[in-house]
Amino acid sequence: MLLSSVAVVAGFIFLVWGADRFVLGASATARNFGISPLIVGLTIVGFGTSAPEMLVSGMAAYQGNPGISIGNALGSNITNIALVLGITALIVPLTVHSGIIKRELPILLLVMVLALLLMMDGYLGQGDGLFLLLGMFLMIFWVVRLGLKERDSGDPMSNEFDAEIPEGMPTSKATLWLVVGMVVLFVSSQILVWGAVNIAKAFGVSDLIIGLTIIAIGTSLPELAATVTSALKKEHELAIGNIIGSNMFNILGVMALPGLIYPSMVPDGVLTRDYPVMIGLTIALFLMAYGFRGKDGKINRVEGGLLLSAFCGYMYWLYLVAV
Query: Residue 198 corresponds to which amino acid?
Result: N
**Domain 2-322: top CATH class:** mainly alpha
Q: Kindly give, in sequence order, each residue whose CB lies less than 8 Å from that of residue 179, ignoring residues fewer than 6 positions away.
A: 25
Taking Cα atoms as reference points, which of 131, 66, 74, 56 lies closest to residue 261? Answer: 66
Position 166 confidence tier, pLDDT thresholds 50, 70, 90: low
- pLDDT tens digits along 172-213: 888 898 889 888 888 888 888 888 888 888 888 898 999 999
Q: What is the C-alpha end-to-end distance of the chain, expressed in Å?
A: 19
Span 309-316, average pLDDT:
96
- Does residue 64 register a pLDDT over 70? yes
Query: Residue 231 corresponds to which amino acid?
Result: A
Position 37 confidence tier, pLDDT thresholds 50, 70, 90: low
- pLDDT tens digits along 255-272: 999 999 999 999 999 999
pLDDT (0 to 100) of residue 228: 85
pLDDT (0 to 100) of residue 118: 94
- Does residue 229 register a pLDDT over 90? no
pLDDT (0 to 100) of residue 274: 97
- Does residue 156 register a pLDDT over 80? no
- Does residue 290 register a pLDDT over 70? yes
Alpha helices (H) along 211-323: 216-219, 221-232, 236-249, 256-261, 275-290, 301-322
- pLDDT tens digits along 73-92: 999 999 999 999 999 999 99
pTM, full prediction: 0.85
Q: What is the largest CA-CA distance in the chain?
A: 55
Domain ranges of the chain: 2-322
Position 12 confidence tier, pLDDT thresholds 50, 70, 90: confident
What is the DSSP code string of 74-139?
HHHHHIIIIIIIHHHHHHS-EEE--HHHHHHHHHHHHHHHHHHHHHTTSEE-HHHHHHHHHHHHHH
Q: What are phi and psi of 265, to 5 degrees?
A: -70, 145
